[in-house]
Structure 1
Amino acid sequence: MLASRATRPVIISGVLLCLLFLLVLSPYSPAPDHITLPNLSTTLGRTPPIPNIVHYVILKKDADSVLHLKFEHFLSIYASLMYFKPTAIYIHTDHNASAVEEAAATGSKWTRIILNLPGVKANEVVSPTHANGTLISKVEHKSDFVRIDELYRTGGVYMDLDVLPLRDIKPLRNAGYRAVVGRQLHGRINNGIMLAQKEAALIYLMQREGPIIFNGGWETHSIKLITPIAERLVRIPNEVLIMDEVAFSPTAWTSNSFDALFAPHNETAVPWPAPQINDVEEEDPIERWESRNTRSKKWEMDFSATYLLHAYKARGHEAPGFEGVTVPYVLKRDSNYALAAWPVVRHALDHGVISEEDDEI
């Protein structure tokens, strides 16, 4: 027994020497030249593009409401036609077919023009009245529910009527995500602009959860709901892409932001066709960067990183000199909104859709 214990250190030492000998004699195996990674496009599958269908919602404020659209609404819808070339533009409304036909024939100037634009279709919907046992009294809240239902049903691009498209959003539709949304001031997700595939999970969860938590609060069932859902789903590949504020909401509903966007400067108009920071169309990235100071006025905003301009209003605030968006207002080119809308107005003028004398708001 004692002898056995005495030989153990000798045996262990011998084993260690053998291992060391093998390590010294073994040829060095360098790391491989490359590591084979899984093909993510194959593993995750190719997500089809978001449908090129545009959705708007306009509902009655009361039983006597007539279908009335403004020039600012025309700019949004016409810009959608001009930049997106969608397969269809739907105006979801609770005005019945006869009311829509009457508005298209005898309504205000912009109502008639919009309803007769090619590709624009009115879709009659039922305006919700209750959710979670609570009366839905505000038309904005009714719109919140309708937009989700219609986006879930067909997929596409939903925009509020005060959103001005600045360029094609095909890169976002083709980005490989089932839903694309964007942040607004203070970092929350804005439900006034949503891109989604038919039956996308984000829209499904909004449709399912919204009526359950509705309590009449201004944002309870909308912004306060979509923000945590979208952020939670980002972790799932190809599910949700969240854009930063500049992409969809470079301005906000504060008085200072409203003035910066809409207030005319009552000075010499930004000349045209002289260069203007948002008119520059260089495809070369180096040239575009070097042209960053192409401003005729110091107050010009650079919308290079903006796809859709959500032109918020400041409730109860009036911008100095601003009386509303009209054709002459845009043609003056002395406000940031006018400069952003200028290409749309110019296109509509060139194609005889509107005239320079159209001064109706």
Structure 2
Amino acid sequence: MTRRIIHLGLFLGILILILSIHYTRIDSEDKLTWQTNWRVGPLGAFNRPENHSNKTETYENMVGQNHTEKHNEMEREEGQNAEIKKYDIIQKDRIENNESYKGLTNIFPENKNNSTSKALVPNLVHYVWLDMKGKLNFEFLHTVSMISVHKRWKPDKIFLHVYQKNYPHGKWWDYVKNNVSGIKIVEHEFDELTIYGEVPKYVEHMADFLRIKILREYGGIYIDTDVIALRSLEPLRHYDHTQGVGLVGTALSNGVIIAKKTSILLELWLEAYRTYNKIDIGKETSFWQYYSINVPRTLADIYPRLIHIEKDTLVRPKIKSYSLEPTKKYVWENNYSVHVWHRALPVPKSPGEIKDLQDEYLLKEVIEYIWYDKPPPIR
């Protein structure tokens, strides 16, 4: 009888242990990390695993798994879209235990800001120029961007990634070649310009995907051709990965990405792209918004120690704030760069048009600062 009681006690103890490890807290700073599969759904939201299967999957099968009919029925009962296929995203225990990541910097360090005294990100700047038909105009704004990077960020090298031999052309590209040193052109073939075998719907989708692949290969700083550098990025090169908040809510802009090539967030972001054109993301969002800005925001929420976030200093201010004095004062005191929202704001086509911009317009001060080395007004 005593032996049976002992056996029963052992059985109950093992059962309690199994249930207790169903989830675990990383620490008080991090969110609850469940020991089942996080799945990525529409709008970049990661759905809690209690809604999904608990089956164990290999690393190779972490992406591309469809729901069983049973789970589709559960989704119908919950009023969700049964057609949406949710795909796995790598979670904490898989990252830490997978051989692919051995030897990399600890992704959950004691230093919650993940900053070091030594620069982690190489001082390399990357632009992407995907002119598929050789007809894009290299404009004055693009020239200002490259001149600003050359003057203010002083990179060891500037890489311009192009499609085949469709290089930029025209007088403003000639100006850049004659005035900016250290530019290296990297040609990409068409087979490199697919998203895990899927032909992108728009060239912008390919450019968004390619910038992540480039940073995984080289490390450094990716910058859009309509971003203007204002002051040294050196402080931000001491983090594994840095992005800024953009214009859409709290979503992260991919207009400037500062990352070492072993950034785990870059790897997770690339994995999310395996679902490109394979899931219904719903009508509330676009492919661009889903993959380019929502996914990195969601990853940052789940794994806050993988990324350093700059709220206002990389791609802001917002469009409506360009003429406000407090905004201009803040920009000149704090911003590393500004994103010129050229589709919504007047942008000069040549140096002669700078004077035509309104005096209270921030962009006028920014371009004069780069083109003429004119100091910003004292406020």
TM-score class normalised by the smaller sequence: 0.5 to 0.7
Pairwise mapping of residues 131-280 of structure 1 onto structure 2 (< 5 A)? 131=195, 134-174=198-238, 177-185=239-247, 186-214=249-277, 217-234=287-304, 236=305, 239-244=306-311, 246-252=312-318, 256=320, 260=322
Q: Percent identity?
A: 24
Cα distance in 2 for residues equivalent to 1:230 and 1:300: 27
Q: What amino acid does structure 1 have at the position aligned with 2:217?
A: R
Aligned-partner SS, 1:313? coil
**2:184 counterpart (121, 125, 133):** 121
Deviations 1:273-317 (A, max 9, x none): xxxxxxxxxxxxxxxxxxxxxxxx969722122111011234xx5
- C-alpha change, 1:298 and 1:200, in structure 2 (3 Å) is closer
Q: Are 2:372 and 1:346 equivalent residues in the alignment?
A: yes
Residue of structure 2 equivalent to 1:301: 328
TM-score (norm 1): 0.62
Unaligned runs of 5+ in 1: 1-38, 262-296, 349-361
- Alignment partners' CA distance in 1, 2:308 and 2:362: 28
Following the alignment from structure 1 to structure 2, what is the Cα–Cα distance between the partners of residues 345 and 172? 25
Structure 1: distance between partners of 2:230 and 2:301: 26
Task: Tell me the distance in 2 between the aligned counterparts of 1:225 and 1:298.
Answer: 34
Q: 1:51 to 1:336 in 2, by over 3 A?
A: same
Instruction: Tell me the amino acid that sits aligned with residue 368 of structure 2.
Output: W
- What does residue 311 of structure 1 align with? 340
Distance in structure 2 (CA, Å) of the matches to 1:251 and 1:221? 23
Match of residue 324 from structure 1: 348
The CA distance in 1 between the partners of 2:299 and 2:118, in whole Å, is: 20
Q: Which has the larger radius of gyration?
A: 1
Offset of residue 208 of structure 1 = 2.1
**Structure 2 length as normaliser, TM-score?**
0.59
> For residues 341 and 123 of structure 1, do their structure 2 counterparts lie closer, same or farther at Cα, with a shift above 3 Å needed?
same
CA deviation after TM superposition for structure 1 residue 213, in Å: 3.8
The 3 A distance-change label for structure 1 pair 324 and 214 is farther
- Partners of 2:212 and 2:196 lie apart in 1 by 16
Structure 1 residue 145: Cα displacement: 1.1
Cα distance in 1 for partners of 2:310, 2:327 equals 23
Tell me whether 1:52 sits opposite 2:120 in the alignment.
no
**Match of 1:187, SS?**
coil
CA contact (8 A) 2:164 2:189 kept: no
- 2:149 maps to 80
SS in 2 for 1:221: helix
Q: Quote the Cα distance in structure 1 between the aligned partners of 2:347 and 2:258.
A: 32
User: Which amino acid is the alignment partner of residue 138 of structure 1?
Assistant: Y
